[in-house]
Chain A
Amino acid sequence: MSLVLLLEQVLNGVQLGVMLFLMAAGLTLIFGVMGLINLAHGSLYMVGAFAAAAVSGLTGSFLLGLAAALAAAAAAGALVEMLVIRRLYARDHLDQVLATFALILIFSEGTRWLFGSFPLFLDVPTWLSGPVALPLGIDYPKYRLAVIAVGLAVAGALAWLIGGTRLGVQIRAGEADREMIAALGVDINRLYTLVFALGAALAGLAGALVGAIQSVQVGMGEPVLILAFVVIVIGGIGSIRGAFVGALLVGLTDTLGRVLLPVIMTHIVGPQSAATVGSAVASMAIYILMALVLLVRPSGLFGRT
């Protein structure tokens, strides 16, 4: 394998990682502030993708679709928070797992009821389609570069939001001591709804961005959800920085594992079964990574103990 191809694969890994970060950031924020474990985060991702597909299908504008995805996911998030999630903060993890598992069923079948059983269409806008020539002779899709850019911009914006704004102060205070922040006169209900809607909007954005190059279909959120959980566990639950590092680690491990393991396996089990065995090990690679990280640091790379 040439070095240039390897570099291109690293870029692919970074792109997958950045996309995972958008999912994981919301998940980890919600856990950090409210202590809630939200299995339905993948459903919000799906809501974003469907909203983008529906609106850009009607208007022909990808940007309007993105805006719709953000709005729809944030609205769905706020609604779910006020109707259901709010009652779960004081509950144990078991109730949270079960209630959000129920939400998955409702969202998935509800979406199928609204949009039918066939996948929807959402495409890359023409001004972002096709490849662009990078140094070293790498032809790389423009759209994927744009996804990397958006992801990095969101990461920067989140860092600013949490580190440098009044809302961020409240969020950090909420993580540290819930009673205290309520005592200080912050409307805790409003803060929680806001944080949940923000996390949902990030998931919706990820869904819309990814929907353009993948399949917009019911159940699309679940594989990503599990990857996002792996990310935040590796990074340390509640830490945005951890989510970023974890997302890049998972993206790179997954991509490079898929590329390199079949090659490595050729030397171990021979070319006959290298493709299947390599692919089998590659599909488990990120879970092995997670187990290793937790063996060394039981609360993740950036987690508080």
Chain B
Amino acid sequence: MTRKGWVVGAAMMLALGLTQASAQDSALKVGMITTLSGGGAGLGIDVRDGFLLAVKQAGVPIDVVVEDDQRKPDIAVQLADKLIQSDKVDVMTGIIFSNLAMAVIPSAVAQGKIYLSPNAGPSQLAGPGCNPNYFNVAWQNDNLHEAAGAYANSAGHSNSFILAPNYPAGQDALTGYKRFYEGELAGELYTALGQTDYAAEIAQIRASGADSVFFFLPGGMGISFLKQYADSGVDMPVIGPAFSFDQGILQAVGDAALGVRNTSQWSKDLDNPTNAAFVESFQAEYGRLPSLYASQGFDTANLLISAMGKADVADADAFRAALKEADFDSTRGAFKFNTNQHPVQDIYVREVVKEGDVFTNRIVATALRERGDAYAADCPME
């Protein structure tokens, strides 16, 4: 490139940066920060697609500004600043990962923005740190692990081996499991974050004499663990939260996941008209089966749309009250908010099955009914 070219190029880029930030019409403005590139992109894409599908179906004036956080907390914080200062959004949503949520949400809600969480539910925001501007439409992080513990009891497991990565969400997962699980622990292991080889852990599981295994290993870690576990010939039953058995990831695990029980607040075969319509329209729109994350994005948008019909976003108190009523048809059936504005909902046990060539889940039991969370009592809101 010539010297002149450089200068023109740089000036052009600056100019483009400006036009991007220009203001739009008067529709309700939603800022969505989610993960669209890099390793965790599949989750963010599903949340986005689910959310946009609901907006499209409702046909209400919502303007969604979607931004990619690249799964980096500092980028997420910067995007939050942009959405608040420059795009002047009314409502924010979209973050997938708890560490990014902790970077963005406390400061966004302190600045008076309403935040609807479509995925992450860190415990810090459910107890004393709860906030009238923060609504969680997915689950508190411990919920699915608690359900796994409850299910282990009812399945007659009394000697579990439990493992998770050594980071806050991993430690919370094992705490959540132990909160409901009543049996003995054959072993408790923390693995490295991003670890890909579990031979050593599986050998310990085999030698421990356990009667069941509970694991929380999100993303690629879970795929690796399940494949290696299936190949090792250890045949005690495995239980895990839905994250390692979800629609997007399941095809990559393959036969190794067949028959595994996992806990989730949503499933494709959940029998209610909203869900049936959602599954069908999602498939028609995007040509793939919806995932847990897509259902959460869809529900988040419908919650927002329900509140728009009752109050103006400019009247913050009325709008918050309208959100708190949760007067919308959720894909998961009954849904209401607890005092800390986290869900009270049923959590199911699913089994991985094969339908034709596609691996998917079907519900086999209900693990917890109308479960809130362990932190609501510490939340000063009523």
Contacts and interface: CB of A to CB of B under 8 A. Distances in A.
Contacts of B42: 116-118
A279 B166 contact: yes
B264 to A, nearest CB: 18
Interface of B: 37-39, 41-42, 45, 166, 171, 188-192, 194, 196-197, 199-201, 203-204, 206-207, 219-224, 227-228, 231-233, 248-249, 251-256
Contacts of B228: 141, 213-214
Contact of A121 (B204, B221, B252): B252
Interface string A135-162: 0000101011000000000000000000
A212 B188 contact: no
A216 B190 CA distance: 23
A132 B341 CA distance: 52
B248 to A, nearest CB: 5
Given A5-B204, A141-B231, 13 more contacts: A116-B42, A118-B251, A119-B249, A121-B251, A139-B232, A212-B227, A213-B224, A214-B197, A216-B252, A218-B39, A220-B220, A224-B196, A258-B200
B253 A130 contact: no
Contact of A214 (B37, B200, B220, B232): B220
A213 B190 contact: no
A9 B192 contact: no
B254 to A, nearest CB: 5
Given A5-B203, A276-B171, A141 B233 contact: yes
Contacts of B196: 210, 214-215, 220, 223-224
A131 B232 contact: yes
A12 B227 contact: no
Interface in A213-252: 213-220, 223-224
Interface size class of A (residues with CB under 8 A): 35 or more
Given A16-B197, A131-B233, A255-B200, A214 B41 contact: no
Contacts of B41: 112, 117
A123 interface: yes
A175 interface: no
Q: Which of A5, A121, A143, A210 has the most CB of B within 10 A?
A: A121
A260 to B, nearest CB: 10
Interface in A108-129: 108-109, 112, 116-121, 123-124, 129
Would you list the 10 A-B pairs with minimal beta carbon distance, nearest first?
Answer: A215-B220, A131-B233, A215-B223, A119-B252, A117-B41, A12-B199, A214-B224, A279-B190, A117-B42, A279-B166
B252 A215 contact: yes
A15 interface: yes
A217 B39 contact: yes
A130 B166 contact: no
Given A139-B233, A275-B189, A276-B171, A5 B38 contact: no
A283 interface: yes
Nearest to B255: A123
- The secondary structure that dominates the B interface is helix
B227 A124 contact: yes
14 contacts: A9-B203, A12-B200, A15-B199, A16-B197, A116-B42, A118-B249, A121-B254, A124-B227, A131-B232, A217-B219, A217-B252, A276-B190, A279-B190, A279-B192
B92 to A, nearest CB: 23
A118 B192 contact: no
A276 B166 contact: yes
Contacts of B39: 217-219
B233 A130 contact: yes
A288 interface: no
Given A215-B252, A218-B38, A279-B191, A144 B199 contact: yes
Contacts of A112: 37, 41
Contacts of A259: 200, 204
B166 A214 contact: no
Contact of B192 (A213, A219, A220, A283): A283
A118 B207 contact: no
A120 B220 CA distance: 10
Contacts of B37: 109, 112
A59 to B, nearest CB: 16
Contacts of B232: 131, 139, 141
Interface string A31-48: 000000000000000000
Interface string A269-287: 0000001101110110000
A223 B219 CA distance: 15
Contact of B188 (A16, A130, A275, A283): A275
Contacts of B221: 215
A305 interface: no
B229 to A, nearest CB: 10
A218 B219 CA distance: 11
A238 to B, nearest CB: 27
Given A15-B199, A109-B37, A283-B192, A118 B227 contact: no
